[in-house]
Amino acid sequence: MDTSEISTYEQGVFHLPKGRFVPHLQFDARSFKKDSEYNGVVISLPAGLASDLDWSLQKEIAESVVENKGQILWKLDFSLHDSSFSYTDSMAFQSFTIAIEQFVKTLHANFAANTLGVIIYQGDIDFYHRFTWDASLQNNLEEWLVQMGQEENGLHHYNEFYEKEIGNLLLSRYCTSVFSEYLHRLISYLPDTLPVFCLLDVTEESSFAKVAHLLSKERFPHVHLIIRGSIYPFGELLWDDTCIRSMPIQDNIIVGVCVPSEEICGLSHLSDLEIIIQDLSQKKIPFRMIFESLLNEQWGELEEIVIISSGISVQGKRKLQGFCAAGGFVVSYGKKLGLIQEMSFEDYKKKSE
């Protein structure tokens, strides 16, 4: 493939050979018109276990979109959101990889110049109910609890987890990790240069702090997440029933809110994080979520980082020392860490009044 045809994606913007492209993509691909408010479409390709992989209709739609000067974001619909199935089923996985290979050889090859990327999942984040809980998945859960140092919680079978709040968090964390690993295995069959997306609906989630923790860049390193239903900023794109579009532009975001690392983050930290998010929102202070494991990569353009002091690791404190040395300011929720440029969250709120 000619590399000059490759699309790249960064912070809500596609970089195409012909220039910068801010997406406003219509789900109803058949009705796409050249002079409409949209500049491209999402074309869904049935790729589930029952699909015959006949995408001739989708090819016709794509030809019409190209003729009308539109861009295409493909969606490989494996029906992962529709019903429960086994993530350990090697035959199902092989079937999905065959669909991916056909997509790469046909539609992607034929429409490379107009392809923005590919969606590999669209649905909610209740992954627990997407699983068939066979013996293998249960055994993996028990091993994971030991690795995470959580075997002392008295939780053994997945059905017991909903009886305790900590169990609910651990089960959500485990299921999201398994789901992410499965997606990343599928992604390995796609071209490295093709941007990959998930459309996630968090409308039913009551805790934004939990959502931010579960959907961290650390857990989804090679997938761009597009969120629906969040009342707080998460990512650069949004989606609803009709389209995918850019987030409203917020200039001069200088505040980052740090999500504790996977190894440390517990119920108390998520509760503290929820308070921080709500307080900043009430004071109309724009912020973006960052993650301790990626602090060095994500603090660009930030002047202040709000942390939960009890949720900062030794490595995290060293990174914050570097942030302060570079002129940044740390706002600590809880006991201060003794950094050269630091204030308490309570003092920070008073200063903002």
Tokens of 348: 């920070």
For 53, the domain range is: 3-246
| Residue 166 sits in the same domain as residue 215 | yes
**Given the DSSP bridges, would you call strands 13-16 and 8-10 parallel, antiparallel or unpaired?**
antiparallel
> Does residue 247 register a pLDDT over 90?
no
* Per-residue model confidence as pLDDT tens digits over 1-36: 454 566 789 888 899 888 889 999 999 999 999 888
| Residue 138 sits in the same domain as residue 276 | no
> Does residue 140 register a pLDDT over 90?
no
| Residue 207 sits in the same domain as residue 118 | yes
Distance between first and last Cα of the chain: 56
Q: What is the mean pLDDT of the chain?
A: 88
The larger pLDDT score, comparing residue 170 to residue 250, is at 170
pLDDT number for residue 65: 96
Distance CA 103, CA 61 (A): 15
Distance CA 272, CA 263 (A): 17
pLDDT number for residue 159: 58
* Per-residue model confidence as pLDDT tens digits over 196-240: 999 999 998 888 999 999 998 889 999 999 999 987 777 789 999
β-sheet bridge partners, residue 197 = 119, 224
| Residue 222 sits in the same domain as residue 309 | no
What are the angstrom distances between the C-alpha of 195 and each of 1, 123, 190, 290? 15, 19, 9, 21
| Residue 71 sits in the same domain as residue 209 | yes
Distance CA 287, CA 312 (A): 19
| Residue 18 sits in the same domain as residue 143 | yes
8 Å CB contact between 189 and 100: yes
Tokens of 281: 């929102």
| Residue 241 sits in the same domain as residue 311 | no
Q: Provide Rg for the chain, Cα atoms.
A: 22
CA atoms within 13 A on the CB side of 311: 25
pLDDT number for residue 348: 92
* Nearest alpha-carbon partner for 111 in 147, 151, 153, 64: 64
* Per-residue model confidence as pLDDT tens digits over 77-130: 998 887 666 778 899 999 999 999 999 999 999 999 999 999 999 999 988 877
| Residue 92 sits in the same domain as residue 229 | yes
What is the reported pTM? 0.89
User: Running DSSP on this structure, what letter comes out for residue 239?
Assistant: E
Place of tokens 């650069």: 236
Query: What domain count does the chain have?
Result: 2
Distance CA 74, CA 55 (A): 12
The larger pLDDT score, comparing residue 161 to residue 22, is at 22
* Per-residue model confidence as pLDDT tens digits over 281-318: 999 899 989 999 999 988 988 999 999 999 999 999 99
β-sheet bridge partners, residue 14 = 9, 21
